[in-house]
Structure 1
Amino acid sequence: MEKKTIQVDSNIPKSVLIGFILAFVTVFTVEHFSTFSYIPNLSTPSIDNSGKIVLSGTYDTRTTPVGALYQTTPFGTRIDLPTNGMMCSELLYDSEFRSYSNKIVLYAKSVFNDYKYLLLFWMAYTLIVLFFKRYRLKVLILTFPITITNCENKIVQEKTSIQSDSTAQNLKRTQNIPQPQKEQIKHAFVVFKVRDKYFDHKESVMVTGIFDTPFFIDADEEYKILDDVQEQCRLQLFDKNILERFMMRFDSYAQASREKERILKINSTTYPEQYEPDLTDSVSTSVNNY
């Protein structure tokens, strides 16, 4: 016969033990809200002057023994406790019976008197522990993105709110501030006529990129711009002799770009040797063996 091995998931015994501990602690904590009551043992009834028995008369707690002692739990269970010959005075406040060291034993015993609730909590906690041990990763995987999304949405909302408040405040401040007028400029580029130093001494034209210049400039400023541009282009000009250099300026960027295309023979079939004077709004200098 084949031997069949029955394997028990190790999580089950652990979950059962954890469930019992949690259930015991829960019921034990609830038992702390129990109430205690007693009935005095009035074996010698009180008789009034007319010879009648007084059922609700007063008695001396120091000499009257306890007839019955009860503990009522929050679950509604009434437990008969032994009197052990105690006097009624021993059950009053600040007495030895009322001390926690004595009552903790009664609370622990009452847990098993309320065994139905102990079993109920035990089963519930065991199922909860088993569920989280088996599905905790899935639960975390499902809830983690939702948590992150909520946090991101909250951050975005806070940022949007802050930006809206900041924009409103800035708009309020700038409403009464006069806006400065846009500075007038001209778009310019520099043209270099050059000749190779070391090879076939071929002449060619080099054109810089388009840059902005003030609308009104004098001759000193123009020459300064030419020198600055030539210094920036020194790597491209180190093996060439500069024959001529000049700057051309235009009111619009499109005009400047079209003139560059004409000079560099882009989108053009003809290339005149001389530039039209009315297109050159700057100085022109000839440099020999610069």
Structure 2
Amino acid sequence: MRKTITIRRGVIKAIIFGLLFGLILVFIVEHFGNFSYIANTANTNTNGKISLVDYLPPKTPLESIYFDTPFGNRLKFSGEDFTIGDMHYRRSEFKPYSNRVKYYFKATFQDFKYVFIIGIIVAVLIHIVNNYKLKLN
């Protein structure tokens, strides 16, 4: 007595579409995260005196870069040869998009559980729409 379990192709397509939709949606939402940084100020000390106001030139290298995702995670990266001049002073974002996109990808994979959650919700909605009809009286 063997029982056969059949899975329709529509279910597999809905799951794949849901996961792709979730991945794209989370990647787009990651663009609303915030960058912050810590500059390497070891060379700005003046003769052992404490300076309460210090001007950092744009060529000052970054020690660490932080990215706060909209989902509440904080990712820390090394300075990677970036300088303060590479950062915008408004909202502390990198000037060219090509500098930021790799951080968005890393943040998307850090928040991958949201990709699964959104993917499953979309797959269930597609399955319900394809298999059930709703009538309003």
What letter corresponds to residue 81 of structure 1 in structure 2? F
**How do residues 148-227 of structure 1 correspond to structure 2 at under 5 angstroms?**
none
> Does the 8 Å contact 1:19/1:122 carry over to 2?
yes
The 1-side partners of 2:127 and 2:109 are apart by: 24
Q: Do the aligned residues in 2 keep the contact of 1:46 with 1:57 (CA within 8 Å)?
A: no
Other-structure match for 2:43? 44
1:18 match: secondary structure: helix
C-alpha separation in 2, matches of 1:129 and 1:55: 59
Q: Equivalents in 1 of 2:69, 2:44: separation in Å?
A: 32
- 1:22-37 superposed matches below 5 A: 22-37=21-36
Q: Which sections of structure 1, spanning at least 5 residues, go unmatched?
A: 147-290
Where 1:58 maps in the other structure, the secondary structure is coil
Question: 2 CA distance for matches of 1:38 and 1:21?
Answer: 32
Confirm or deny: 8 A CA contact 1:23 1:121 kept in the other structure.
Answer: yes
- How far apart in 2 are the matches of 1:127 and 1:79? 31
Note closer, same or farther for the CA distance 1:109–1:90 as it changes in structure 2 (3 Å cut). Answer: same
1:44 Cα deviation from its structure 2 partner: 2.1
- For these two proteins, the number of residue pairs brought into alignment is 134
**Cα-to-partner distance string for 1:60-106 (whole Å, 9 max, x where unaligned):** 122x110111111111211113322222112236xxx4222332332
Partners of 2:100 and 2:56 in 1: CA distance: 26
CA distance in 1, matches of 2:118, 2:28: 13
One-letter code of the match for 1:32? H
Letter in 2 for 1:23: G
Q: TM-score, normalised by structure 1?
A: 0.42
- CA distances 1:232-285 after superposition (whole Å, capped 9, x unpaired): xxxxxxxxxxxxxxxxxxxxxxxxxxxxxxxxxxxxxxxxxxxxxxxxxxxxxx
Corresponding residue to 2:125 among 107, 123, 128: 128
Matched-pair contact (CA < 8 Å) for 1:91–1:98: yes
Distance 1:101 1:52 in 2: 40
User: 1:37 touches 1:71 (CA, 8 Å); kept in 2?
Assistant: yes
Task: Mark the runs of 5 or more structure 2 residues left unpaired by the alignment.
Answer: none
CA RMSD of aligned residues (A): 2.4
Check conservation: 2:65, 2:76, Cα contact below 8 A. yes
What SS class does the counterpart of residue 43 from structure 2 fall into? coil
Query: Structure 2: how far apart are the matches of 1:22 and 1:57?
Result: 47
Q: 2:63, 2:78 within 8 Å by CA — same for their partners in 1? A: no
2:85 alignment partner in structure 1: 89
Distance 1:117 1:56 in 2: 42
Q: Could you say which residue in structure 2 is the equivalent of 1:61?
A: 58
Q: Give the structure 2 partner of residue 107 of structure 1.
A: 104
The two structures have a TM-score, normalised by structure 2, of 0.82
- Aligned residue identity for 1:102: N
Query: Which structure is larger by alpha-carbon Rg, 1 or 2?
Result: 1
SS in 2 for 1:54: coil
Q: Percent identity?
A: 31
Structure 2 counterpart of 1:76, from 60, 72, 80: 72
CA distance in 2, matches of 1:41, 1:89: 13
Match in the other structure for 1:7: 6
What is the rounded CA distance, in whole Å, between the counterparts of 1:56 and 1:124 in structure 2? Answer: 52
Where relative contact order (Cα < 8 A, 6+ residues apart) is larger, the structure is 2
